[in-house]
Amino acid sequence: MNHTLSVHVENKPGVLARVSSLLARRGFNIHSLAVGPSHEPGMSRMTIVVEAPELEQVKKQLHKLVNVVKISELAPAQAIERELALIRVHAPAGKRTEILELASLFDAEAIDVGRQSLAFQVIGTPERIEDFVELVGTHGLTDLVKSGSIAMAKEQKRRSRSNQLRAI
């Protein structure tokens, strides 16, 4: 089962290597790993999608690393998750209109036009990107690169008074 972790770490050399090594030593398959600065100076946020039957042991091991500050598991229903994909599709002149119409359904942006191909940028959930790749793939993919997933927790919504009364 895949789990998405948001890991706040100190922005220091070697942290990424220590985290990925720890997961590899424990035999967990990393499906995606994205790292970037956070809103806090000197801190970075790692979004890790890892395949693991039980995540508690992973979280305990990560907490032992010196530069790890906070770990949160992001449940799919409580998370905003996005990926970026760059996709080049075989597109001879007679097929371009059809391919561009497909791309518009997914809000994919044409970013490069060649003699025999179109390149698109598409941003969305991993499932949405897979759907786009499957549709345009029938025309012949010539190149594909995807970023790792990035994710953050959704804001907790306050329950209205009527919802609170129904919950009682």
Cβ neighbour number for residue 118 with a 10 Å cutoff: 23
**Rounded mean pLDDT, 66-74:** 94
More reliable by pLDDT, 1 or 71: 71
Task: Give the residue from 74, 96, 131 where a domain finishes.
Answer: 74
Residue 162 pLDDT > 60, yes or no? no
d(CA 83, CA 127) in angstroms, rounded, equals 10
Same domain, residue pair 58 and 109: no
pLDDT at 164: 57
**E-assigned strands of 14-99?**
29-37, 43-51, 68-74, 79-90
pLDDT, one tens digit per residue, over 80-121 is: 999 999 999 999 999 999 999 999 999 999 999 999 999 999
- Is 101 in the same domain as 125? yes
The answer to whether residues 132 and 103 belong to one domain is: yes
The string of pLDDT tens digits covering residues 117-151 is 999 999 999 999 999 999 999 999 999 999 999 99
Angle at 94 between CA 89 and CA 95, to 5 degrees: 35
CA distance 163 to 154: 19
**Residue 53 pairs with which residues in a beta bridge?**
none
Number of domains in the chain: 2
Domain limits for position 141: 80-151
Main-chain phi, psi angles of 147, to 5 degrees? -75, 170
Which among 97, 95, 84 is positioned nearest to 128, based on CA atoms?
Answer: 84
Q: Which of 16, 39, 74 is the last residue of a domain?
A: 74
The DSSP bridge pattern shows strands 109-113 and 68-74 to be unpaired
Q: Is the dihedral of CA 11, 33, 75, 78 positive or negative?
A: positive
